[in-house]
Structure 1
Amino acid sequence: MTATNIAFLRARPGREPWLDQALHTLVALSRGNPDCQLANLHRSDEDPALWLLYENWTTQEALWRHLGSPDVQSFVRQSASLLESDLGLRGFRLQPASPIGLAA
């Protein structure tokens, strides 16, 4: 079953350019992984220090392998100096749609 990873990331004041570069590198690595179905990075229109990372992975196991990879662990270590708070990772699973007109 597809695993979705969503993270809200806020840069420390003045660290926005470095976080932006690190996140683009991280997304490129994700996109290069055959188990990654989608990796998108969004930056807030109202708050230039805030990003949203949205990824879909083939399985939860594939996501865990990715999160444990040396490249991601390097980003996690580097992020301590770039982020205002923790990574804010949240996992989600796609839910099947209910037929129209039927109560869930």
Structure 2
Amino acid sequence: MTDLSNIVLLKARAGKSDQLGAALKELVKPTRQEPGCAICELNQSGDDPNTWMVYERWAGQAAFDSHMKQPYVARFLQQLDELVSDPPEVRPFQHRY
């Protein structure tokens, strides 16, 4: 089994940073409770308060795929277009050490 880590970068629309942060925060607790989730962290840039980063680590691709099918993720994705100025940038990594 190969661990999968994702770094997700999101840029809030002007005036929507607090709303985006609140919506992301609502994802953290239930995500951490999912089987296969090792880490889920939410971070806001110190240089640009409109930039948010989610770091998550999963037991593998199947665990992440299951996460993406959760109802609370679907609800978040439905409101994403009104909160972000650009599509989220997802950078996948595999744990090596």
With the length of structure 2 as denominator, give the TM-score of the two structures.
0.92
Count how many residue pairs are aligned between Structure 1 and Structure 2.
96
- How far the C-alpha of 1:93 sits from its partner, in A, is 0.8
Q: Does 1:11 align with 2:12?
A: yes
Q: Percent identity, aligned pairs only?
A: 33
Q: Which residue of 2 aligns with 1:57?
A: 58
User: How far did residue 26 of structure 1 move?
Assistant: 1.0
For 1:34, the aligned partner's letter is P
- CA distance in 2 between counterparts of 1:51 and 1:84 reads 12
- 1:101 aligned partner: none
Q: Which amino acid aligns with 1:10?
A: K
Bigger Rg, structure 1 or 2: 1
Q: CA deviation at 1:89?
A: 1.5
What's the secondary structure of 1:13's corresponding residue?
coil
So what's the TM-score if we normalise by structure 1? 0.86
Detail structure 1 runs of 4+ shifted over 6 Å in the superposition.
none
The answer for the alignment partner of 1:24 in structure 2 is: 25
Which one has a larger percent helix, Structure 1 or Structure 2? 2
What is the Cα deviation at residue 65 of structure 1? 0.9
Computed over aligned residues only, the root mean square deviation of the Cα atoms, in angstroms, reads: 1.1
2:43 alignment partner AA = H
Contact 2:35 2:63 in 1 (8 A): no
